[in-house]
Chain A
């Protein structure tokens, strides 16, 4: 586009900004400098990371070639024998069982802990704070690490998986529950208190009816995500379909591996659909 005189006029008038608006542009410039500095630092860290972790285009390209070969070998997904397919299906049932029991146990244990970590239930700050930090540190340990620890205690197998999922979820549930309790309306509590209820009565009649639907929907949501976690704890030997998947990948049985992955995807999709339905029913029932 050629610059016509009109545009030049506009450009000229723009340079003559009235002094009362100068600060706007100055502030903008300051922000821009700050933003570009942040970007420079981030990029520097990124490049440092690529260097330290030995990531370079050559390795990526050769690796992608290998990956292409693997994907080609994976198709079509095929368990090869019916016996294997049935075994995989059973291990899938095992996986879902692990997720279900782990979530249920975690919810039951975290229920009282959530109250102990809530600011409006425990008036002493120190125990409440310690409870919160304790739950936080449980949450900081990954499910796979818990699985390894439990394998040392109860031996290889799905039971270790149940306990691992339970442990890592106690932390999450405890935190979520206590937040839900802190967000509860105070009025029903005051109502129960004014009618002569004890501290326990205020919790039972004032708080629990408010938070139960919230808790249930959170538990269901975690059940979904735990189905995903349960598929992988087999990698360290804690039962479920991950055990077979890891073995298939290590022995380079790619068609079987892709069949297992397909089964996992289907199972996760089914559980998602089911639990979102139940969740919807619970929330819908709440609104009536």
Chain B
């Protein structure tokens, strides 16, 4: 069994890849998302209900990661880190060419509102010993993606469990 490289060990608990969303949270995407699943929750459609219950319109909580995906094209784009960059760093540094996500948990805190500009960072929480599953031999890891608004309030955390592995020969 190989030891976990010291560099990877040093990533555990470290705040990495701070990013700001490319654009303000906006209702156009909220409508498209609601339309795609026929979500008629009045919090997203009815101003009176939104004012009464949530002090104005909010975005559906499950859209939390939407606000960080880069668009298909942008002028003068340079490659930037992705919300799960730590996952790809681990695959690369540990020499594990394949990976799957086995679990996804999202915890929701302050509501996300149109006009918010969100920030995110990633924290590697743990890396397992080497394990062998039906997919191959590799390691499990847990990465938290933290999201906060422009006031520094947490709006949520996504926690991913990944398994990076080498296929059986």
B is a partner of A: no
| Chain A contact residues, CB within 8 Å of chain B | none
